[in-house]
């Protein structure tokens, strides 16, 4: 890890029940290309399996894997820390829960999976690779829960995050320890009974066609009240396999 990465979202994994379909979808929406790697001891299930790296140019910021039996389809964001084990030891006391104890990913780093106090799944990561923070592929991640709920203490203590006091139509900005924008607490609300979630903001190419291309290739709104989500800068959709993702539509018309 370099200290410049501390407190930033440094990677995303997509668990998908149809990897080929997901690859084609994000290729059309974000113009991603792919590199297939063979893991001899795969982190998600063990044994020898393929893992797909998603790239934009020479930037690698995401991986695609077949959904393990104990997981659901969806994206996982990984937040960088200097010591994964030390961070995980604080999760329970801060109201979260540990879903997977720290584990090594050969050639990549050390990770763990946890849930925050509202149930949002996230990864904690210490990277040991040269990939930079993926700013070409992703904008600030989006946090969606119920109402204005956000477990500020959890993220402040683990990652040094701070929630902006200013309320915007979009929600509230969340800043990392160096003051940089890392995420947005979105103003939309999940349906009753759904857990809070981290949703990646995909940078569509071109931006102006992002929503049109996504919906033409099988995406659908994540909320029944469509108007509540399209009137803000970021809309949240479900990809063809049901994984929530966000698109920045600041430069698109609202329709």
Whole domain around residue 38: which residue ranges? Answer: 3-127
**Of 103, 127, 151, which residue constitutes the final position of a domain?**
127
In order, the DSSP letters of the chain are --GGGTTSEEEEEEEES-HHHHHHHHHHHH--EEEEEEESS-TTTSSSEEEEEEEETTEEEEEEEEPPTTS-SEEEEEEE-S-HHHHHTTTGGGT-EEEEEEEEETTTEEEEEEE-TT--EEEEEEE-S-PPP-TTTEEEEEEEESTT---HHHHHHHH--EE-S---SSEEEEE-TTS-EEEEEEEEEPPTTPPPEEEEEE--SSGGGHHHHHHHTT-EESSS-HHHHHTSSEEEEE-TTS-EEEEE-TTSPP-
The pLDDT value given to residue 249: 64
The pLDDT value given to residue 4: 77
Do 175 and 110 share a domain, yes or no? no
Do 200 and 222 share a domain, yes or no? yes
For the stretch 42-77, pLDDT in tens is: 556 666 677 899 999 989 999 998 887 777 889 999
Do 76 and 177 share a domain, yes or no? no
The pLDDT value given to residue 40: 57
Do 155 and 116 share a domain, yes or no? no
Residue 255 maps to a domain? no
The pLDDT value given to residue 38: 76
The pLDDT value given to residue 253: 35
- Residues of the chain under the 70 pLDDT cut: 1-3, 39-48, 169, 192, 224-232, 249-255
Do 146 and 176 share a domain, yes or no? yes
Identify the CATH number of the domain in which residue 114 sits. Answer: 3.10.180.10
**Of 127, 162, 188, which residue constitutes the final position of a domain?**
127
The pLDDT value given to residue 167: 73
Domain total in the chain: 2
Do 168 and 228 share a domain, yes or no? yes
Do 51 and 88 share a domain, yes or no? yes
């Amino acid at each position: 890890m370099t200290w410049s990465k501390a407190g930033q979202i440094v990677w995303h994994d997509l668990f998908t029940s149809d990897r080929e379909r997901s690859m084609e979808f994000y290729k059309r929406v974000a113009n991603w290309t792919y590199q297939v790697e063979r893991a001899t001891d795969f982190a998600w299930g063990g044994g020898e399996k393929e893992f797909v790296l998603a790239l934009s140019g020479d930037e690698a910021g995401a991986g695609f894997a077949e959904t393990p039996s104990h997981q659901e389809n969806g994206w996982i964001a990984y937040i960088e820390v200097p010591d994964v084990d030390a961070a995980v030891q604080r999760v329970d006391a801060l109201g979260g829960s540990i879903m997977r104890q720290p584990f090594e990913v050969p050639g990549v780093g050390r990770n763990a999976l946890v849930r925050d106090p509202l149930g949002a799944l996230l990864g904690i990561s210490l990277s040991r690779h040269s990939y930079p923070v993926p700013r070409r592929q992703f904008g600030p991640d989006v946090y969606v829960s119920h109402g204005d709920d956000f477990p500020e203490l959890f993220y402040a203590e683990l990652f040094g995050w701070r929630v902006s006091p200013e309320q915007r139509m979009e929600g509230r900005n969340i800043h990392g320890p160096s003051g940089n924008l890392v995420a947005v607490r979105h103003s939309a609300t999940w349906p009753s009974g759904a857990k809070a979630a981290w949703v990646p903001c995909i940078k569509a190419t071109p931006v102006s066609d992002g929503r049109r291309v996504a919906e033409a290739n099988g995406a659908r709104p994540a909320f029944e009240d469509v108007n509540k989500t399209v009137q803000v800068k970021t809309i949240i959709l479900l990809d063809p396999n049901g994984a929530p993702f966000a698109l920045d539509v600041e430069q698109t018309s609202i329709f």
